[in-house]
Structure 1
């Protein structure tokens, strides 16, 4: 099999773990794709013998994980969800559509949707029902923005699949590089200096449960975190050391980034209450940069992060 001949499709499930027909699935744009097709908890089937020798190992709770790096871009039309919005929903993000204007995603604690993904690899296919997952966003200057999804689902044995996929790509445009021209706003605790990068990890705890009469994948917790790197300002301009100190009090502030200038391919990250929890220095072209870890805290609940496509 050729390693580059891969594809990923996804469809929402009406009932948990019950896959719709693959003909209804959405084809996704993928830059990297891999899977662990047969994971699970293993126990040894112990046997005593007169001779030495290994015992069989039994997978008592098989499941599958799929990792996919997807370009971060819009659908091409404001108010239309990008096709990878299905995976954002699989990561416990609630989708709100404002027709002709925007599509936003915010964390949800309850009522998580489930999805089936199909992992296609040069003539074979593995259907993975009951998927839920987590995602990490990366936007770095002079690079292309990405999302890395890690999905966990129920195990199904891969099968031969010689038929060409009928789907074509819809509701997606090409990503644009992160730079001054395209990334029009970036501020960290109200300081809009020269930015190098923003990463945001949704931080879901995703658990496969395999019990008597019950098997599913659940999102059981969430802790949104990430990091920022910026050109170091003078203390007179912005004293980040005072902001990140937590031994006397915790200071919260917003982190905001808007990438894109053309309607249909604009994405905005808003983290209104972030704690900067560490700081380190680095050299970039002879200029001091600060790299700071961040934690996004909720206010009223399920509001620590909003991702808006416009």
Structure 2
């Protein structure tokens, strides 16, 4: 019987103990994804290198088996201030803390210790794939006239798939996103309201696997946030990216998307180090600056915050 690629179900739940299945359900843990890609059996094929009196393949042994998963999720808050979004667990599994102030806000920020892991179920037309001990990386993507996205890449431990039906996903917690427009979105750098075309913040997590005697695990061992954004060029007396790249000063960046309570997402980077501008761009005859930067910590784990209000 033909398997249909469009019949996908994705469930995701935080683990209480690393690698132990928390049994996600369709009612509570379904994820609404875009561009979902699943590589269920990554690893290495070790050649046996046997000595034989004739030529020919000798076979291999599969080792260090793990899964890779990539997908996008729309960056849309829960609709209620102080209620975590349905995609909150995804950020937590990317080495981020979640702080909830009831009725007011939900804030995410990077953390260096106590990283949480998750289990992911992927159902593909009756075939169930399970990945335990998953941790990952995320990139925040905002572009004018488009939907803001969170681009995820997870690595988890391999288990053999089975042919079994999965729960029906309940996706009502995922709210319709707002398009990035002048009316919905504001941006400023060092207090200057520059005209923004697009911005990305890559959390920069280093995700590594460990396959040793007594341990099979995925770890986040380091992080280095990278920021890229493109703005319309202005007079250097208004903002000078070249002077900023030469200066020791770090600049605050703020992007606010959404205008109504429960639907507002605010990305703040207190200390943005502008790097060398690499080029100039001609966009319909207008000059734009593609800029690169790093988000630097002050006292630690404060490189950036994403606050939903």
| TM-score for the superposition, normalised by structure 2 | 0.95
**How far off is 1:145 after superposition?**
0.8
CA contact (8 A) 1:32 1:70 kept: no
Deviation string 1:25-76 (CA, Å, 9 cap, x unpaired) is 5111112211110011332111122222223222221011111111110111
The residue that corresponds to 1:219 in the other structure is: 220
CA contact (8 A) 2:95 2:116 kept: yes
CA contact (8 A) 1:244 1:276 kept: yes
Distance 2:227 2:38 in 1: 24
**How far off is 1:7 after superposition?**
2.1
The residue that corresponds to 1:269 in the other structure is: 267
Deviation string 1:152-208 (CA, Å, 9 cap, x unpaired) is 111011111235x2331243311111110111x201233212111110000000111
The residue that corresponds to 1:178 in the other structure is: 180
The residue that corresponds to 1:197 in the other structure is: 198
**How far off is 1:3 after superposition?**
2.0
The residue that corresponds to 1:287 in the other structure is: 286
Q: Which runs of 5+ in 2 are unaligned?
A: none
CA contact (8 A) 1:44 1:57 kept: yes
CA contact (8 A) 1:7 1:30 kept: no
The residue that corresponds to 1:169 in the other structure is: 171
The residue that corresponds to 2:20 in the other structure is: 18
CA contact (8 A) 1:126 1:157 kept: yes
Distance 2:48 2:268 in 1: 51
Three-state SS of the structure 2 residue aligned to 1:15 is coil
Distance 1:78 1:220 in 2: 33
1:208 is aligned to 2:209: yes
Q: How does 1:1-310 map to 2 (within 5 A)?
A: 1-23=3-25, 25-163=28-166, 165-183=167-185, 185-245=186-246, 249-279=247-277, 280-310=279-309
Deviation string 1:210-254 (CA, Å, 9 cap, x unpaired) is 110111111100001120110001112111110012xxx533111
Between 88-97 and 11-20, the greater mean CA deviation after superposition: 11-20
Three-state SS of the structure 2 residue aligned to 1:255 is strand
Give the CA RMSD over aligned residues: 1.3
Three-state SS of the structure 1 residue aligned to 2:139 is strand
Distance 1:237 1:155 in 2: 53
Distance 2:39 2:168 in 1: 26
**How far off is 1:89 after superposition?**
0.1
**How far off is 1:116 after superposition?**
0.4
Distance 2:60 2:180 in 1: 48
Distance 1:68 1:221 in 2: 22
CA contact (8 A) 2:108 2:307 kept: yes
Distance 1:51 1:190 in 2: 74
Deviation string 1:85-136 (CA, Å, 9 cap, x unpaired) is 0000000100000111110001110011111011111111101111110101
Change (3 A) 1:209 1:25: farther
